[in-house]
Amino acid sequence: MTSSFTVHQASGYEQLMGRWSRRLAPKFIDFAGLAGGEKILDVGCGT
């Protein structure tokens, strides 16, 4: 499935993806079993 949706500014990307990131990040951290103070390096996220 392809999409013709195009974002030309970071604010547009944040408007679309930011809402999902804010909802999913805490659940992902719980799933990953991270402890307070630990850090994550995101390599190859594509954005």
| The pLDDT value given to residue 46 | 64
| The pLDDT value given to residue 6 | 79
Picking from 13, 19, 20, the residue whose alpha carbon sits closest to that of residue 46 is: 13
pLDDT digits (tens, 9 = 90+) for 1-47: 787 877 788 888 788 788 888 889 889 889 989 888 998 888 876 65
All structural domains of the chain with their residue ranges: 8-35
Element (H, E) at 20: helix 19-32
| The pLDDT value given to residue 45 | 63
